[in-house]
A and B are shown apart, each in its own frame.
Chain A
């Protein structure tokens, strides 16, 4: 096993995009996919996902702003490891505007190409297989799995896709400087919104307290992003901030049930790519049902279950998460 792979394995690196996949496992599966190809057919690609399309997550932008050299280094390590043809830095439009020059000077003559996330690609434009479509110039929406990007990604070649923070961590691990920290984005009804670097095993409660953000009013939180994160009440804070490491604080006084759910549904109706029936039609009907004076709860729940059970991609399935958990953990909470 190569040096870097064993280091990553030893550090137990977990992907920081949100799905929490083991980094070593992903790298290995790309390497394995390459092994099975003939000698003249070993082309492969690396993609760094800096789309950061989830509202309430800002850490990739922060990392790029302060530690861009580390991120580029991490990408280069991946290119070397796989002898990759090229890497793409799939970059959020706003970050590109702000950091383009700096990134370009860091990349210099490395085989890294900045690909600006198309401005109209929306939420789905950050889904990893939709990124492949974007780079290939196809309609921006998720691809059917299998095959997975690790075996058949960009132009059908094995492709490694990792998040900005993951590449940052890879660079640290390579240099022996990884300290088991991660970047948390805290936002919402709290005094100190922003990105904080803290140990990766802290509970939500500790994170809020250490950043002086623990609310003194009735509240609930959403972990993992403003639209796809899971919702918990104030008694459920002894858990890690998993996924993309975002914590959003909602004041109960300011955020009534109807308003929050309506916002989410409006977001998803606008952002669904339209590929599959449960998401395209289902979310539209969910909003319809929800906006009625008398809500048909049975139908509402069936539509939600159908989203998590039968959607084409993980984003469709994730759309049901905040609503279901809000109902379970907040709306039905016994005080």
Chain B
């Protein structure tokens, strides 16, 4: 499957003579040295690709350059160097007018503080993108209504943004992004301003919607738990650079460096890990003729624990063809829960 969105060596430098600064960065000059010259390298050499239907999460602390990176993807910020391709089309080569057309039809955005227009009703907000496209009123109101219903806001069309709770406002923001039928959704810390329970709801709803809509989503967050929950793949950013890209389990079990390792300490591993990532692929110790319960590679870690508690031997992991692909001994569960990486666990075994 070819990539929907590709970022190739993206740089964004603020300050005087940005081109020169990029050249210096390529030659290995440190970001701090540039800062001393009054130049801020917000994004340095970021490359990744996002497949259609994938949720790609960019995770990093504030100041890591993730929001800048996101704004280069739809051209709100012009990259200092590098390219952005959408379905193979080079967005960085487009004129302003062409770029606006792409933004109006193919790329939507959901904002951290919702960015709803206070002088427009909920329906008019949801219809905004279609209005920009020039869709006639009746049709855009119909489509806005559908998008609002999809986000669970049927019946609120004639309300005003300031009459809604934060969670509902962000649903309007989501409906506004979905109404245009753009395939690529850029979500900039979209759930960060919500309180934890609402945030969970919104994450669940996004995953639910994604099952049927299959949008391509680039999601920015500073919350690693959120990244692990939502992301098919995760890119971890630090100081403008992407330090690791991989699935949640890759990052949890095989952190690329100490920074990522320190980052994942607080993650609730039991929510992320599945049988496939903790099992021992050697089949030693498997009671082949045992008729007790087994797991699949997708079985969540917590379910594995429950299974293991009722067995005196390791839990068997079976694939679709009922072949045993691995076993999970209890001590392995404990080791992973204790925060050990894949290598450390292997070394003990």
Tell whether A pairs with B: no
Residues on A lying within 8 angstroms of B by beta carbon are none
Residues on B lying within 8 angstroms of A by beta carbon are none
